[in-house]
Amino acid sequence: MRSIEIDNLSFEPFIEYEQIQKRIRLIGIDINVKFENKHPVFVGILNGCFMFMADLMKCIHIPCEMTFVKLASYAGTEQGNVQQLLGVGMDLKGRDVIIVEDVVDSGTSLKHTMEALAALEVASITVCTLLLKPESLQHSFDNIMYVGFEIDKEFVVGYGLDYNGQCRNLPDIYKEVSSPHTL
């Protein structure tokens, strides 16, 4: 891994693909055990979750279903109001739902998603996120059960995470060098 530059921002290697895959396998094993007889629905939050969810689902060996929602809560690097752009598209009443997120930082979009799912009368909501920024949380959650990596307030790209639509395709995660952002 080597450093990269995007729009005059420098990023250095942070979490390698192999580390990500090891963590995903462990999360998958735990989900397979805990949800063995529950037939959960995985709800991926687009666009950022696509790589994480694809790799996670390869480790899930229990009967399950999946769907996606698309939210928008960023304008450049600033967090804004959450907008739902694409809905679930299936009946979730009485179902065990596992929300799959790329990163939980402020928690605003996660809170929005959980409230929307609760209104659909789901049986349970469990959160599975690749990255968690505990210092950035503005809401408290008791159902974030699966966390790939806890990180500081770094601005990160790669493995589904983007900066202005760029770098989602990178297999590794990079963090901005001397980040002025507090995401």
Which of the residues are catalytic? 105
Contacts of 170 (CB under 8 A, 6+ apart): 4, 157, 158, 159
- C-alpha to C-alpha distance for 81 and 59, rounded to whole angstroms: 34
6 and 169 Cβ atoms separated by less than 8 Å: no
135 and 7 Cβ atoms separated by less than 8 Å: no
What tokens appear for 71 in the block? 């939210």
What tokens appear for 40 in the block? 């959960």
Report the run of H or E that residue 32 belongs to, with start and end. helix 17-34
Instruction: Answer positive or negative: Cα dihedral of 161, 46, 133, 40.
Output: negative
Nearest 5°: the CA angle 42, 110, 41 is 10
Look up residue 156 and give its amino acid. V
